[in-house]
Amino acid sequence: MEPHTTPTAAPKVRARAVTRTFGHSGRQVHALGPLDLDVQHGEFCCVVGPSGCGKSTFLRIVAGLVRPSGGEVELRAGRRHPAAMIPQDYGIYDWKTVLANVRFGLDVQRVPRKAANARARDWLDRLGLADFADAYPAALSGGMRQRVAIARALAVEPEVLLMDEPFAALDAQLRTILQDELLAVCQATRITALFVTHSLEEAIVLGDRVVVMSARPGRVIAERRPPFERPRTGQLRRSPEFAALQSELWELLRGEVQTGAGGAAMAQSAGKRS
Ligand code: ADP
Ligand code: MG
């Protein structure tokens, strides 16, 4: 297998001194930055940080959905293999069938219908949704809707995959299953991923690198490389290195986590293992 990162090639995502401020005249909220980050080709980069520190804002800036107030962002992805984003709310269309949802990006790319259907069905199959191709999202559980969002993003065979807390709304068991599935898919396809989460556990399982953000306005305060070889499996959660790294990251974050929803959520996800 090729090495997972090729530092000599240009990074797929390159952010320099990115800032974002919201509001006008009266009250200004400095939401983000200045933030610098490179994500290399084939790298799975996880970003963790307290709630409200600007993680979603950063991801939207990388996706081109929000303009930075300052700094520069480059996202390198091709026309045939574009970037795909899985937003925090899944972003699936309730009025389209599961198959049509998964085919959506292919329709945008004008892939011929027969080939698009075949590719969409293949992804539905891989994510255990084959029997639900003709169902509408309203008939699906939260976990299944999440899988539809993942299948839709992966169906375009993206070069870069942007994910915003894609498993946050799921129960712990399902989250573990989907993390393992994502791990398998990413290792098989050598996708470049930028994955935002508030779960340290998730970041350590999935990431080649875990980038820690400060409280708002979010900046990079540290990064660690989980010392686990690929291909990984979910088993690594039980290793002593895993627990050690989780504690270390939690120590880094502790000072950044304020009281409130973000603090509670992070304390919970860190506490599970310590
Ligand atoms: P995170 O994803 O880390 O929880 P966000 O990026 O969603 O954080 O938000 C960072 C800060 O920016 C928060 O204080 C939030 O209220 C503010 N913010 C985000 N989007 C907007 C917006 N569209 N308008 C005004 N404020 C916003
Ligand atoms: Mg967010």
What does the alpha-carbon distance between residue 205 and residue 182 come to, in Å, rounded to a whole number? 10
Q: Which atom of ligand 1 is nearest to the CA of 196?
A: 2
Condensed to tens digits (0 to 9), the pLDDT of residues 34-72 reads 999 999 999 999 999 999 999 999 999 999 999 999 999
Domain that holds residue 125: 81-158
- Residues 209, 141, single domain; the answer is no
133 lies in some domain = yes
- 258: confidence class by pLDDT, cuts 50, 70, 90: low
269 lies in some domain = no
- Residues 53, 14, single domain; the answer is yes
- How many residues are listed for the chain in this entry? 274
- Residues 148, 89, single domain; the answer is yes
The residue type found at 29 is: V
User: Looking at ligand 1, which residue's alpha carbon is closest to its atom 14?
Assistant: 52
208 lies in some domain = yes
For residue 226, the CA-to-ligand 1 centroid distance in Å is 28
Q: Which ligand is nearest to the CA of 260?
A: 1
CA distance readout (Å), 211 to 22, 55, 64: 24, 11, 21
Say yes or no: CB of residue 197 within 6 Å of ligand 1: no
3 lies in some domain = no
- Residues 235, 201, single domain; the answer is yes
**pTM (2 decimals)?**
0.88
CATH of the domain at 18: 3.40.50.300
- Residues 55, 149, single domain; the answer is no
For residue 31, the CA-to-ligand 1 centroid distance in Å is 6
Say yes or no: CB of residue 50 within 6 Å of ligand 1: no
- 260: confidence class by pLDDT, cuts 50, 70, 90: very low
1 lies in some domain = no
189 lies in some domain = yes
CB-count exposure of residue 141 (10 Å: 0-12, 13-18, 19+): exposed
Domain boundary among 137, 158, 179: 158
- Residues 95, 143, single domain; the answer is yes
- 266: confidence class by pLDDT, cuts 50, 70, 90: low
- Residues 108, 69, single domain; the answer is no
Say yes or no: CB of residue 257 within 6 Å of ligand 1: no
267 lies in some domain = no
CA distance readout (Å), 199 to 76, 213, 263: 27, 13, 11
Q: Which ligand is nearest to the CA of 57?
A: 1
Condensed to tens digits (0 to 9), the pLDDT of residues 123-163 reads 999 888 999 999 999 999 988 998 899 899 989 889 999 99
Into how many domains does the chain fold?
2
User: Looking at ligand 1, which residue's alpha carbon is closest to its atom 21?
Assistant: 22
